[in-house]
Amino acid sequence: MTNKSSKKNRSLIIAYAAILCLISVVVGAFAAHALSAILSQEKLESIKTASRYSLIHGTFIIALGSIHWLSESSYKKIAWICLIGTTLFSFSIYTLVYLKYHSIETSIFIPLITPFGGSLIIISWGLLAYQSIKKYVKD
């Protein structure tokens, strides 16, 4: 991969992560101010959890780009797995809260997206730990 396409790919990943963070702040503020009067405490907590995960892991992806010893392929793998996992995790929760609020029945499929997304997030952290240990042993 050329240096130019590598930088372009990093820019796309960082843009996606920044958008996740932006959505997190907007949804969190909306939940705290507009939705607190109409949603149950349980639904608000679900939204807060989804919003918090988006913010934490969006920030993680942005910070991941500053690890100078991490290879480009490892960076892309960890970043995309985390971004996909965070998107699935958070947006499945937002969707479930919306559907429950409007008393719309959900298929068994939608609730399964949340733990799948969470598993991808865990895998991304595990890959970073693996790469860090590998670097430590090598040096």
What's the domain range around 23?
3-138
Give SS3 for 72. Answer: helix
How far is 120 from 62, CA to CA, in rounded Å? 17
Q: Cβ(56)–Cβ(25) under 8 Å?
A: no
CA 39 to the chain's CA centroid: 24
Residues 87-127: tens digit of each pLDDT: 999 999 999 999 988 988 888 888 899 999 999 999 999 99
* Total residues belonging to the chain: 139
Question: What's the structural domain count of the chain?
Answer: 1
Q: Cβ(79)–Cβ(123) under 8 Å?
A: no
Tell me the whole-structure pTM to 2 decimals.
0.90
Residues 33-82: tens digit of each pLDDT: 998 889 999 999 999 999 999 999 999 999 998 999 999 999 999 999 99
Query: Cβ neighbours of residue 17 under 8 Å, at least 6 residues apart?
Result: 57, 58, 59, 61, 62, 79, 83
The one-character DSSP state at 103 is: T
